[in-house]
């Protein structure tokens, strides 16, 4: 494996600030935010930069939240700023379409990360086929990977790889995996796909294991690891790219990335535009504990404020009901149920 400048590397760090970070920003990135961040990441040596609405192509909707700026404008801007890095887009089958994918490729995207629930890889096959026809680098995301045991998850990975996926990810969307739980899933995928594809890991900080899990993922065979600057992402945020770069450097694992340049970007570019710093507060910790999709946090907080019920209680019930991405509207039902229960309890007293 080599970096963009031709030097060898052991691990590819991928940055998702401008996609997963969109959740924390309520999808309000400006074109200037994207241009400045891409330039900095590119300078630091990040070779794959993800840019879209938090829920991927076509995600700017009432259900998921509207973007401030059309994602096509942001993808084009990112592609114009990247000198060495490839711009990636996220696509959720059933939300983003093949037409959206073609448009993103025309705007300069060179990679697509196709995401499904961890048991539904079969819905991605046509999208991988089209992506390969377009000459795009292909990545598969098995979201909420904690909901599937290692062996079953590996079988889903095989479906994606057979469809044309070049790197398949264990995606800890809830930040629920703890140490060996992450490593064992990576090892199962590596054993299944062998040399036919790489394996990656995407972690969240809800239980504070994102970076530790990433190290164990590398040791189990993962060769692509996701992060976001200043941990900007859904829930308590993602594994911080700058911390990953420094950690792997300390471990003697070559990434081809300059951690000091990333830290400069955090302080001088990203922090000034962040409207909400990721934090391990009660609600985000509950997400990790209960296995709740990290992007549900803002939806739960809005419902909590509207119906005057605690956000963490909403999230506990979301976890108990095992809701998955795309069921954000069900959060309102839970909030209404909690409000009715509270009103009934008050009336009884």
Which of 220, 242, 273 delimits the end of a domain? 273
For residue range 173-203, what is the model confidence (pLDDT) as tens digits?
999 999 999 999 999 999 999 999 999 999 9
Per-residue pLDDT at 62: 84
For residue range 292-309, what is the model confidence (pLDDT) as tens digits?
988 889 899 999 999 999
Claim to verify: residue 213 and residue 311 sit in the same structural domain: no
For residue range 44-73, what is the model confidence (pLDDT) as tens digits?
999 999 999 999 999 999 888 899 999 999
| Residue 96: CATH number of its domain | 3.20.20.70
Claim to verify: residue 21 and residue 85 sit in the same structural domain: yes
Q: Do the domain assignments include residue 157?
A: yes
Considering only 30-39, 54-63, 127-136, 197-206, which range has the smallest mean pLDDT? 54-63
Claim to verify: residue 29 and residue 134 sit in the same structural domain: yes
Per-residue pLDDT at 183: 98
Give the active site residues: 23
What separation in angstroms does the CA of 240 have from each of 102, 109, 226, 325?
31, 24, 9, 23
| Residue 305: CATH number of its domain | 1.10.8.60
Claim to verify: residue 309 and residue 213 sit in the same structural domain: no
Q: Do the domain assignments include residue 181?
A: yes
Q: Do the domain assignments include residue 245?
A: yes
Residue ranges with strand state E in the chain: 12-15, 48-50, 86-91, 111-117, 137-143, 167-171, 198-202, 224-227
Token output for 162: 């057979």
Q: Do the domain assignments include residue 280?
A: no
Residue 81, pLDDT above cutoff 60: yes
Q: Please state, in angstroms and rounded to a whole number, the distance separating the CA atoms of residues 49 and 17.
A: 8
pTM greater than the 0.85 cutoff = yes
Tell whether residue 293 is among the known ligand binding residues.
Answer: yes
Q: Please state, in angstroms and rounded to a whole number, the distance separating the CA atoms of residues 241 and 194.
A: 27
pLDDT category, 345, cuts 50, 70, 90? low
Claim to verify: residue 162 and residue 240 sit in the same structural domain: yes
Residue 204, pLDDT above cutoff 90: yes
Percent of the chain with pLDDT over 70: 97
Residue 348, pLDDT above cutoff 80: no
Claim to verify: residue 200 and residue 303 sit in the same structural domain: no
pLDDT category, 7, cuts 50, 70, 90? low
Q: Is the dihedral of CA 232, 51, 179, 247 positive or negative?
A: negative
Claim to verify: residue 110 and residue 199 sit in the same structural domain: yes
Mean pLDDT in residue range 276-295: 91
- Which ranges constitute the DSSP H helices of 4-118? 21-24, 31-44, 71-81, 98-106
Claim to verify: residue 192 and residue 94 sit in the same structural domain: yes
Q: Do the domain assignments include residue 128?
A: yes
Claim to verify: residue 304 and residue 266 sit in the same structural domain: no
Q: Do the domain assignments include residue 146?
A: yes
Q: Do the domain assignments include residue 68?
A: yes
Tell whether residue 201 is among the known ligand binding residues.
Answer: no
Residue 346, pLDDT above cutoff 70: no
Mean pLDDT in residue range 116-144: 97
User: Alpha carbon 141 to chain centroid distance?
Assistant: 9
Claim to verify: residue 204 and residue 269 sit in the same structural domain: yes
Tell whether residue 204 is among the known ligand binding residues.
Answer: yes
Rounded to the nearest integer, the mean pLDDT of the chain is 94
Phi, psi of 312, rounded to the nearest 5 degrees: -65, -30
Claim to verify: residue 188 and residue 313 sit in the same structural domain: no
Token output for 226: 């996701």
Claim to verify: residue 300 and residue 261 sit in the same structural domain: no
pLDDT category, 272, cuts 50, 70, 90? very high
Q: Do the domain assignments include residue 161?
A: yes
Question: What domain range is 18 assigned to?
Answer: 12-273
Residue 123, pLDDT above cutoff 50: yes
Tell whether residue 146 is among the known ligand binding residues.
Answer: no
The count of structural domains within the chain is 2
Closest listed residue to residue 314, CA positions, set 343, 278, 344, 284: 284
Per-residue pLDDT at 347: 45
């Amino acid at each position: 494996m080599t970096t963009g400048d031709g030097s060898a590397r052991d691990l590819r760090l991928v940055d998702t600030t401008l996609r997963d970070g969109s959740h924390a920003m309520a999808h309000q990135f400006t074109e200037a935010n994207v241009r400045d961040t891409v330039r900095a990441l590119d300078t630091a040596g990040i070779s794959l930069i993800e840019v879209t609405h938090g829920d991927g192509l076509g995600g700017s909707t009432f259900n998921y939240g509207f973007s401030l700026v059309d994602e096509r404008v942001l993808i084009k801007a990112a592609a114009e700023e990247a000198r060495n890095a490839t711009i990636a887009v996220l696509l959720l089958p059933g939300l983003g379409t093949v037409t959206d994918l073609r448009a993103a490729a025309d705007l300069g995207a060179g990679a697509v990360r196709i995401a499904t629930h961890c048991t539904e890889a079969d819905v991605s096959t046509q999208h991988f086929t089209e992506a390969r026809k377009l000459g795009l680098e292909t990545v598969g995301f098995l979201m909420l990977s904690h909901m599937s045991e290692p062996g079953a998850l590996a079988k889903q990975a095989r479906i994606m790889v057979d469809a044309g996926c070049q790197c398949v990810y264990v995606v800890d969307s809830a930040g629920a995996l703890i140490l060996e739980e992450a490593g064992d899933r990576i090892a199962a995928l590596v054993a299944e796909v062998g040399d036919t594809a790489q394996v990656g890991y995407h972690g969240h900080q809800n239980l504070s294991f994102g970076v530790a899990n990433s190290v164990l993922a590398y040791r189990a065979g993962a060769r692509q690891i996701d992060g976001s600057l200043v941990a900007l992402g859904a829930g308590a945020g993602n594994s911080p790219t700058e911390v990953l770069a420094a950690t792997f450097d300390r471990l003697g694992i070559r990434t081809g990335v300059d951690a000091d340049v990333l830290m400069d970007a955090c302080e001088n570019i990203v922090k000034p535009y962040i409207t909400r710093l990721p934090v391990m507060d009660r609600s985000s910790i509950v997400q990790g504990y209960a296995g709740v999709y990290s992007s549900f946090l803002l939806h739960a907080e809005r419902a909590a404020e509207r119906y005057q019920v605690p956000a963490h209680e909403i999230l506990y019930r979301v976890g108990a009901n095992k809701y998955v991405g795309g069921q954000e509207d069900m959060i309102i039902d839970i909030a209404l149920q909690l409000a009715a229960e509270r009103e009934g309890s008050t009336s009884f007293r």
